[in-house]
Every structure is written in C-alpha cells, then in structure tokens.
A and B are shown apart, each in its own frame.
Chain A
Amino acid sequence: MPGSEDRLRANDAECAAKVLDGEAVIINLLNGTYYSLDKAGAVVWELAASGGTVSEIAGGVSARYDVDASRARQDVERLVAELVAERLLVPANGTAPSSADAPSASGNGRLPYEAPMLTTYRDMADLLALDPPMPRLEDIVWDDPSGSSTPKS
C-alpha cells in the first residue's frame, strides 16, 4: 500500500489504458483482464497513472465532485490499493512529479458523487477462445449461379 505522498504511475509494461469521455479502460496485456472506471474512478485513474500521490488524487476528486475531503481520501485509498493489487499502478520511484493537475470543478457546481468502483472482467481471453473461428469465406464454394465468388445476399 503506497503512502499518501508516494507517487504512482501506470504499470505500462503490463497494461494498456485509455481514458475517453470520462471513462477509463485498462487491459492487462499479459492475461487480457479488462478493467473499467468511470466518473470519479476515471479521475482517480488519470491522476494516479500520471504520477499523482494519494493526497493529490483525493484533492482532485473532492475539487470536482461533491464529496468531503475525508470521504474522498478514504475512497481513493481503497481504489488505489485495489489498482496496486491488480498491478495496474506501481510506485513511480525516481520519476519527476507529474505536471497533471486535477481536473477543476466548473464554476461553483461540483458533480454529484458516487464512490468509484472498479469493474473487472477476468474472462475476456476465455470468452475469446470459446468463440470458434469462422471458415475463411474464400474457402467456401458458394452456390452462386452468376459465377461470382462472393457470398449470396
């Protein structure tokens, strides 16, 4: 468990991650496990992946969402511990502090808060393997009177 001032970073060697439209998807490159985070969870990922500390991340969450600082900190600590346990985040020893700022609240209105939840699907590779390969369509002798080799509609 990282200390509140320890910097973190995404474990790029073992996972690929993107954030789009307020949702983060992270994929373990070794086993295909799929993770996603949205809303406050995506903010936590963005700040943590780019070198934030637990304190900075909690500050970023409570700046943007309608949640008090102590609850934000508690939730961030729990989620970061989960992300570290899943090897998606690792300590950023020796790296320079990130320049990423917490996304700021727009105007006075902070967004309604829900505790961030990590969604995990560990069966993606298994499901992909269950999906049988299709015949290569060019190998099928299609019964097409026009003589065309394309599938009939």
Chain B
Amino acid sequence: MTRILATTPLYWPYIGGLEAAVMTLLAALRERGHVACVVTSHDALDIPDEEEHDGIAIHRLPLRKALAARDPLALLESQRRATAVRRAFAPDVVHVNLPDPGAAVHVRAAAAHPAPLVVTVHTAIALDGGGGDTLFGTLLRTAEWVTAPSNAVLSPLRAAMPSLEERSSVIPYGLPPTNAPSDPPAAPTILCIGRLIAEKGIDLAVAAFGSLASRFPDARLVVAGDGPERERLEQQVSDLGIGGRVDFLGWVPPERMPALIADASVVVVPSRWQEAFGLVALETAWQGRPAVVARVGGLPEHVVDGETGLVVEPEDSASLARALTKLLGDTSLRVRMGSAARARAAARYGIARYADDYEQLYEHLTKPRIHAGI
C-alpha cells in the first residue's frame, strides 16, 4: 500500500483533461488498496476547503486567487496549509501534476515530510534555457521521476534537460472500459468535442463539413463544448448556408460523452496546438468509432493512420474534408477502423495498464534501496 499525495491545479468538481486524467488514475489506485489525497486550488465555486470524493480527501487552497491577485500573504498561508497536510498525511510519494503555478507551495512544503517526487507534465511546455529560474525547471530538476502522456510532450523536455533521459518515461493515459459499442447511427454524423477556442480548430471542421455537405445531404455536424469562439463559429455556419445541419450542444458533462460518441459516425479532432495526448480520440476508440485527427502533439501516437482512424495535416480543411468523405462514404471502412480502434484501446489504453504503470513507478521509487550495488 502506497500513500500518494497528488497535487493538481484544480480537481473535482472541476473537470478539465488534466483533472480527468488524475481522477481516473487515483480512483483506480484506490481500488487497489492505495491511499491518496489531493491538494488543489479553489476556483469560482463556493465549496469546502476539505472534502472527500470517491474515498479521496481533497484539500483546497486559495491558490488561484492568490496567484491572480499576486498576493504574497495568501501564498504563504497556502504554503502553511500545504505543509500541514503533507506532515499529517505522511505520503510515501508526492505526485505533482503540471502545468500548475500553485505547485510552488509544494516545493517549500517538501521539507516537512521528505518523499520521492513524481512530476507529470500534462501539457506541452517549453523549457527555455534549461529552465533556470523557473518553477517548471525546478520541479523537473528535483523530481525523482518525470512522466508525460506522450513523446510529443516528453521528448523536447529531455532534449532541453538531458538528465531527464534516465528518470523519465511516457505513460499514456488510460480509460476504464465501456460497454460494447452500439450500432453506428443511420444518418452520417460528425462529432467535434472541445472548448470553442481557436486552438481546437473547430472552424476547420466546420469548413470541411461545408465542403462535403451537398455530397451527403443527410449528414450532420455536432459540436459539443463552449467557449469564446462560439459566436464566430455560428456565423461561419450561417455564412456557409449549413445552419440547419450543425448543432451546438454547449458544454456536455463527461459522463455523457460515451453516449454522444456512440451516436456519431466519426469524431474529428482538428486541433492546431500540440495536444499532449488527445483524450477525446481515446474515448472515441473505446466507443468503436474512427477518429480523424490532426497530426499534432500526441494524437498520431495513439491514432494509427489508416488503421484506427485517419491522420491529416493540421490547418488543412481540404484534407480534413477528404478524410471525412472517405469515411462517410464507406460504412464498412468505418466499422473496420472503429473495431480496430477499440481493440487497440483495450490492448494499450485501458485503466489497468495506466494504473499498473504508476503503481510500478511508485513501487520503484519507494522501495528500500537495500539492493543498491548488487
């Protein structure tokens, strides 16, 4: 049994990609008998400082507010609480999840109860000049082990800090298994999931849909998510004259995602930025659906072009349209790729493998070093 103190920028009930990845992991580790607690930040909601969720104690500090207000006293007080939690919980391992400027308080809290530090980098972050005089560099330098969900995130860090070669690894995310996939929908449905920000490239999906809409008169585009680009996207849809065939669902809670994906023929991930992993594509695979993804970040590491989906160049709505046309026009290809995607997810991206990888890492870092030198 390992006692794991995890730190995250936010945690339940906030549910971004990082939070979902950590919650999934901790829930699986808890089922295996490990004990975890989470130290995180408050945000807009008025929720308790201390709370238990799914058997995991959550400690919320006013970190985001302190950082946004540049308030040194609030940071010092957060640090004092972080130190008290660490001392009381007495972790065997501390697992810091980045990016999180609030992690500064845990650097100072370390002396209260020394324990091996694991740092997981969930977003592509540049390590300029070897990371001197930065929190990110300090955490990477002091970590016993650094993980990232893809080579796309880890490789540049290893190049910038060569000492990471011997103390880092890619641990892809994993998800719990879902029910056997349902039959694909009768009408061709393209689904896009994500925050409506320029980096997610939803406009590329709208443009691609606009160019294939007349060829597939009963096809629909469904957009799940919300954000600052929504108005612009709605205008784009209107300008293309496809207003009646594009649905903007707004934010959809995570537990509805599997059913939403199962109702789609194909899911498109047209991102412009370096997706650290692209969990949506993995959720798609688990539902037995093919994904069309941009060749950015970690996406092409788990979506196999021509086997489990199609990989297109980023910023290229014409290629996106060709890939979607190919899939929408060939039901058997969709079914074949969807099945292959689910089989690959089951083999490589399940929750058991995800939890195994971290369990073994924690064990490696916490076992007594009595065999050293043998």
Interface residues of A (CB under 8 A from B): 16-18, 20-21, 23, 25-29, 32, 34, 36, 38, 119-125, 127-128, 130-132, 134-137, 139-143, 151-153
Contacts and interface: CB of A to CB of B under 8 A. Distances in A.
A122, A132, A141 pick with most chain B CB within 10 angstroms: A132
Contact of A137 (B45, B99, B123): B45
A119 B16 CA distance: 31
B255 A134 contact: no
Given A131-B100, A134-B43, A27 B72 contact: yes
A121 B252 CA distance: 36
Interface string B42-54: 0111000000010
Interface residues of B, number: 44
B330 to A, nearest CB: 33
B5 to A, nearest CB: 20
A4 B352 CA distance: 64
Interface string B220-253: 0000001000000000000000000000001111
Contacts of B253: 140-143, 151
Given A127-B101, A127-B135, A134-B43, A139 B72 contact: no
Given A18-B72, A20-B73, A27-B72, 9 more contacts: A16-B72, A23-B76, A25-B72, A34-B104, A121-B134, A121-B135, A127-B125, A130-B123, A131-B100
Interface of B: 9-10, 13-16, 43-45, 53, 64, 67-68, 70-73, 75-77, 79-80, 98-101, 104, 108, 123, 125, 133-138, 195, 226, 250-253, 255-256
B132 to A, nearest CB: 9
A51 to B, nearest CB: 19
A28, A127, A132, A143 pick with most chain B CB within 10 angstroms: A127
5 contacts: A25-B79, A36-B108, A121-B134, A127-B100, A134-B10
Contact of B138 (A21, A121, A134, A141): A121
A23, A38, A121, A143 pick with most chain B CB within 10 angstroms: A121
Nearest to B74: A18
A34 B16 contact: no
